Amino acid sequence: MSTQHAEHTGHPHSHGPACGHDAVPHGDHVDYAHDGHLHREHGGHWDECDAGGHVTHEGHEHQHGEGCGHRAVPHGDHVDYLHDGHRHAGHEGHWDDH
């Protein structure tokens, strides 16, 4: 999975299993949802983590929203929903894998 390298500077917080932020599996690593961003450890610092490109989640009939049973995570200008080990984001009438 390709991700962009954008260091999150000035980030003194260390993420981990007991840090209080949602851990989100993302390909070969774990992201942590923090203040509308997804952080990933990389080379001793924290990066903003975003998947490159647009990946449609095929055959996803479930509609996410308030009360759907999946954790909502603010992500930039939209909301992702944690579902089966990945994030779903609404996009032009379908759901994308983020």
pLDDT tens digit string along 15-47? 778 888 888 777 788 888 877 778 888 777 777
- Domain span including residue 46: 6-97
Q: Which residues pair with 44 in a beta bridge?
A: none
For residue 34, which of 52, 51, 16 has the smallest C-alpha distance? 16
Query: Is 1 within the bounds of a domain?
Result: no
Domain tally, the chain: 1
Q: Is there a domain that residue 44 lies in?
A: yes
- Residue 83 domain-assigned? yes
Tell me the helices (H) and strands (E) count for the chain, helix number first: 0, 9
In a domain, 17, yes or no: yes
Amino acid at the residue 97? D
Check residue 28 and give left, alpha or beta (phi > 0: left; psi -120 to 50: alpha).
Answer: alpha
pTM listed for this prediction: 0.58
Residue 32 lies in a domain: yes
Rounded to whole angstroms, the Cα distance separating 81 from 79 reads: 7
Q: 27-41 burial by CB neighbour count: b if 16+ within 10 A, else e?
A: eeebbbbbeebbbbb
More confident residue, 3 or 36: 36
Q: Tell me: pLDDT of 71 over 60.
A: yes
